Chains A and B, each alone.
Chain A
Amino acid sequence: MNVRELGERVSAAKRETLARGETFYPGPSRIHLASFPPRERWDDWADVRPDGSARRTMLVPTTCFNCESACGLLAYVDRETLQVRRFEGNPEHPGSRGRNCAKGPATLNQVTDPDRILYPLRRVGARGEGRWERVSWDEALDDLAARIRAAIVEGRPNEVMYHVGRPGEDGYTERVLAAWGVDGHNSHTNICSSGGRAGYHWWMGLDRPSPDHANADVILLVSAHLESGHYFNPHAQRVIEAKQRGAKLIVFDTRLSNTATHADWWLAPQPGSEAAILLAVANSLIRERAYDRDFVRRWWNWQEYLAHEHPDRPQTFEEFESVLAELYAEYTFERAERESGIDARALRDVARAVASAGTRLATHTWRSAAAGNLGGWQVSRTLFLLNALLGAIGTEGGTFPNAWTKFVPRPVSTPAHPETWNELTWPPEYPLAMNETSFLLPHLLEDGRGRLDVYFTRVYNPVWTNPDGFSWIDVLTDESLVGLHAALTPTWSETAFFADYVLPMGHGSERHDVHSYEQYDGQWIGFRQPVLRAARERLGEAIRDTRDVNPGEVWEENEFWIELSWRVDPDASLGIRPYFESRERPGEKLTVDEYYRHLFEHSVPGLPERAAEEGVTPLEYMRRYGAFEIRRGVGPLHEAPVPPEELDDPSIDAFGRVYTRADKQVSPNAVPLPTPDGDGEGRRPVGVVVDGVARRGFPTPSGRLEFWSRTLAEWGWPEAAVPTYLRSHVHPDSLEADQMVLISTFRVPVQIHTRSANAKWLDEIAHTNPLWLHPRDAERIGVRTGDLVRVETEIGHFVVKAWVTEGIRPGVVACSHHMGRWKLGEGGQRQAMATVALESEADHRQLRRRRGVAPFESADPDTKRIWWSDVGVHQNLTFPVHPDPVSGMHCWHQAVRVRRAGPGDAYGDVVVDAARSREVYRRWRELARPAPAVSPDGTRRPYWLLRPLKPSREAYRLPETVAR
């Protein structure tokens, strides 16, 4: 259609838009051009194409489902063909503000990917053999439901497990598992952020930081937040905004990340020394009295600390300050220099910058060093110590606890949490683990601690992503350990190859989810929706099932879980069905429309009013705009006084913790919070007395910021009860003379784990993972860029190409995450997966690369233009499990030997000794202090700590003898 013939064609420019009384979205250039068409025309916009033609287009919001940032997207849906033509950002989204990273537009590739899975598949032959038959959803559902029902009825609830990678949603699936009464939630968190989380959790009871980058004067990142991580695009926007305003940026990263390129101070420390540097900065703040004394006095639990640790000394704040100074006196800049290799003068400059920030210090770490090192959880803890010293918590430009800037709308009904404890996810060795010890699952199964009858993996690829992937293959191919494996995934993964059912679930534009992430000083919710469903509903169709609009028979989990739950409990005899029944039409299934209608009408403050202003229902509002900002400027919630009506017969303990008998108000915000214990007399904690006023405080046992953790002290870790420096397993003293440290986790800005390999535009930009090494090391080893090197870990080796760069510390090598994808035969992701052969004999495991990728014929002419062939090497297979004894985090860094490849080595070779991997597992397990040995109260875990799907209190009790 020619533009001139298209009567509806109007300009999005400012004057014309405003003259029509429509919304003008100003773009970054701040000129008359709009960044997006006016929202009044999102139903029917003449979308002008490069050739001058125009398409009648509907703009439908959804949420990107690549990384966790959950940036808004607008799908451009062709009104005539009802196809998604492209994705842009969503200007109504308060976190991403209309902008995206490379992965946002590339969502289109994922939707049109010629290799995507379109129909439910069931394996034929042995597991992993690679032969599949198409089955109906009914067959798959009935099979799964029967097994789940049997497990529940026969008292084997722990044999049902749901293992999730990227959740991308808040609360929906946990509610399903709770309704089933299984303690079957397993996450990826212990290979990701548990280390980071733990450090924050011990301080404030909440496990995530929410830095207010935009308003900070100094930003300190122990991460690569301008290019990856949580929350890449939303945070990058705000960090750069602050920098343009004059804020200083400090970046810790051993390799030269894109983030480091913007740093005023780029510190590339010896891996594992980060906490030593942070403590040196803290020490200088303390020594120079550059900290906020009043804040420390009011909000730290120093009294509790003195009382327990220094009962003989005067119990005064001044005395505490002396103790504090003594405690950290040893952390001099010179010592930090020795540990980190960074010039003490540079560290002094950094300390001065931090001191200058006052309450405008935004700090952030999430994975990085906290995920790399034994004791890495002290990295986030020592980082947050700087905020705690400066009082930069909950302040403008400071760092917030995430729960304050996150909103999880309470769903239609909330089942009680399970009455069972799953030792396959929460083994007794790790009572303080922040999350499920997910990566140990194969070892725990091989220990004989249990079996799984129904194992769901969902957007999770442990065979590839987790350490020691061969142990996953071993377990997944053993039907006595895993009865049935169903992979819920939109695309092929190494793990899906070892499934019994591969059940296709939609991409970001093909599914419902609601979510909220802490990206600035505000609260918002985002709505992910099947955009073609929304589009067709706008055109007047009634859609009852997302499969009716998705490609092939691709479904979405929301509806899948409802359907599956009904089949598990068709007659409601197990008490499961009621949670999935319509309230509006009793006896019928809950629909996603009803679920979200309830959520948006009852649990999102301000949304009904806003929707009413627009003359639409809250659900229609969310379907139309995709996001809603609940509040902005949350401020220091800990300072809020406890309202008198909540102080019913209060009691106050020796350190000011306030307890009440008043019932807890049910908040519409169901964000997970810890549950500090009551006073033992029936009162619940409600606040803490600070300077004579009962204030909200923090959700810790003390109600304050816990400089000293009574929990850690009582649960076997007294030496780590305060922020301190723990020596990493890759500390130079622990390395042999010929060993180096391998950083295996660094991410590139255009890929996201194994989720983005189905995006051709991203693969074209980044498709391989050479080993970064410093010229000095390259010379010593005798290799140049492109040469093959053999990297030897504790349990095996891999052969990869070298990339010789000044962007890494000598003595350290780095190999990016994301790459090294593989497939066994023809099935799989042909643009990003090399074809390999797996060999397994006794304890010998080997992966041999047979060929890289090549152009191929498909419906997309671009697949014939694939010009790259190298897709990298799968390094994670060669990493043994390294569970941190406290946080449970897998400590990713590896001590390795790097040699020039020998004549017998071929590119992509991966060799592992399974016996040694078991041995390393056992050695690291010895570091743990198991609950039966350390639990002060006969429970498995401190009840107050956060835990997904927190079981009933009864389930917390340790059995008389713990199965080992």
Chain B
Amino acid sequence: MEMTSEYAGDLQIVTVNSTRIDAAAAIQFKDLMREMTAESNKPVVLDLSQVEFVDSSGLGAIVAAMKFLGKERPLHLSGLTPIVAKVFALTRMDRVFKIFTSVDEAKNLDAARSA
């Protein structure tokens, strides 16, 4: 699994450069998220536009990342592809996250800066 990080103003954008966050990748995803978000306190936008598939383990890992970032540091999502959006909708976890259509949309909205 590959992930990259950049800063856009007062947001940290973490991009998943892999096509699957599944049971085989969930632990690594959590470890990388912890590592990559350790260096700042900025709200995080997780760019999932290259991720074609998420299963319940991957979904759980994304929720775990939201939890370890804590209340003061929101984790938002952007760029959900069709299967990923379907898994979030069926499990109702789309209500738990703020979801942007793209990283650009997140950058342009003040909403991304707050929980």
Q: Do A and B bind each other?
A: no
B interface residues with partner A (beta carbon < 8 Å): none
A interface residues with partner B (beta carbon < 8 Å): none
